[in-house]
Amino acid sequence: MICDGLQDYDLILASASPRRRQLMAEAGFRFRVAETGFIERWPDNLKGNEIAEYLAKGKGDAWSEVIAPNQLIITADTIVWCHGKLLGKPADNDEAVRFLRQLSGCRHEVITGICLRDSERKKVFSVTTGVTFRDLGSDEIEYYVECYKPLDKAGAYGIQEWIGLRGITGIEGSYYNVVGMPVSEVYSALLEFTRNKIKSI
């Protein structure tokens, strides 16, 4: 085991996303899972990373239990930002098709907001990855939506699925951010967050 200090913390991933849980587990984090029941709404004047950070912070603030000194809450929210508009989780197959038609042939940004919170402090930041799709045919889009049901994914696609393997031509930044959690950046932030606490005691 790597003695990085995180083993001394009760890490709580407050997220319903199975992809975040999987990535955190595969990266070797010891954590448990909970949910905050936060309703995802944001002010109309926010854009891009401001929305992602607002939602991540909102989820962190929605944690209602008393946080023990050795506990650390991790919350996150991922959005897709394309042509100055947010593409969230599609409401149905028709909206998923519309989202993918907007993403076809263009570059967009996948942004994950992260909030780290302990009993005394809070850190909020975001990670942005640029993703480019080739021109997608209507038959490809309709096949993907019908067979893969991407209604639980921001922007209506999973980079690790069929449409990502066939359709994505470029990535700028963290691949795992697009999957759902920028684990390397989260790890670095956790180290800084916990070590700064030790220095301040």
pLDDT band at 53 (very low <50, low <70, confident <90, very high): very high
Average pLDDT over residues 90-117: 97
Assess contact for 154 and 99: CB atoms under 8 A.
no
Secondary structure of residue 71 in the 3-state scheme: strand
Would you state the pLDDT for residue 197? 65
Catalytic annotation, pick one of 4, 8, 10, 77: 77
Strands 122-133 and 168-172: what pairing? antiparallel
Name residues whose C-beta falls within 8 Å of residue 149's C-beta, 6 or more positions apart in sequence: 93
pTM given for the model: 0.93
pLDDT band at 1 (very low <50, low <70, confident <90, very high): low
* pLDDT of 60 over the 70 cut: yes
Least confident span in 24-28, 38-42, 52-56, 100-104: 38-42
The Cα 177–Cα 187 span in angstroms is: 13
In this structure, the number of other CB atoms found within 10 A of the CB of residue 98 comes to: 14
The Cα 175–Cα 169 span in angstroms is: 13
**Tokens 């809450």 belong to residue:** 73
77 is catalytic: yes
pLDDT band at 174 (very low <50, low <70, confident <90, very high): very high
* pLDDT of 201 over the 60 cut: no
